[in-house]
Structure 1
C-alpha cells in the first residue's frame, strides 16, 4: 500500500456504516459494538452530536474512495496547565486488510498535527490493557504511559 496516497477528511453520515463496521471488526470491538443493518439509532445520534460539536472531529483515512481508518479527536479546555487545551484521541481503528501497513501511524500523526493547529499543549489517549501491542504502538509514536487511568461503566 502506498501510504503517500492516503487522505484524511471529516466523516459524513454516509461513512457511518463503514466506521461502525471497522470499530466492530476485532476481538474487543466485536464484544462492545453492534454492527447490523440498519445501524442502531444510537450510532446515528452519536454521529449527529459529534458533527454538531465544534470541539469534536470524526476523521476518516481514505485510500481513493475507500475508508480504511477512523479516529475521533475531542478538543477540551482545562483549568489546569494554565487554562490550556488538550486533544483526546479515541476510537482509532484501521481496516483489517491494512493493519500493520502504516495507516494507524498516519492517523495518529495527522491527529497530532491537527491538535497543534488547534493550539493544544497536550495530546492524550487511552488503550485497553487487553491490547499490549497497542500500548507499544503508541509508545513508538512518542506517547508515554505517564498516568494510571481509571474508568467506571455506568
Structure 2
C-alpha cells in the first residue's frame, strides 16, 4: 500500500510543482518550465513568508499534488483572518483518485487550526470541472472576481 503525506514543499520539489502548474491548457500558456531562476526566486519569497504554506502531496517519495495556502489577517468581518487556497494541482496520473479532495480538506483544516474564519479560492471561469469539484466540497460561488494584469 502506498503512503501519502502532505508536507511543506522544499526547493527540490519546485520542478515537480511547476510541471503540474503547466500541465493543462491554461497553465501551459502561463508557465515557462525552463525559467528555473524565476521559480527558485519565487520559492524563496514564499518560503520566507510565514503566512504562506506551500505544500506537496508526496506518495512514496514522488510529488503528486500541490497547493498554496495564504493566511491574511484583516479588519473586515470584525478583524477576521482568512485564508486563500491557490494553485491546487494534481498530477495527471492521480486525477480522479480523491487526492484533490484530500489536499483541499487539509487546507481547510489547516486554516481552521490557524484561526481563520473564512477560506476562499478562485478558479478560472473556464474550469467548469473545478467549479463543480469545489462546490461538492462546500464552497459557494458568492462573489465575482476581477483581475488587473500588471506587467508580464
Distance across 1 between alignment mates of 2:47 and 2:70: 11
Tell me the equivalent position of 1:80. 76
Distance across 1 between alignment mates of 2:109 and 2:84: 13
Tell me the equivalent position of 2:55. 59
Structure 1 unaligned regions, length at least 5:
none
Q: What is the deviation of 1:101? A: 1.0
Q: Does 1:7 align with 2:5?
A: yes
Alignment match of 1:68 (pick from 55, 58, 64): 64
| CA RMSD of superposed structures (Å) | 1.1
Equivalent residue of 1:21, what SS? helix
Tell me the equivalent position of 1:103. 99
Tell me the equivalent position of 1:28. 26
Aligned residues: 150
Q: What is the deviation of 1:40? A: 3.0
Equivalent residue of 1:73, what SS? strand
Equivalent residue of 2:104, what SS? helix
Report the TM-score when normalising by structure 1. Answer: 0.94
Q: Does 1:151 align with 2:150?
A: no
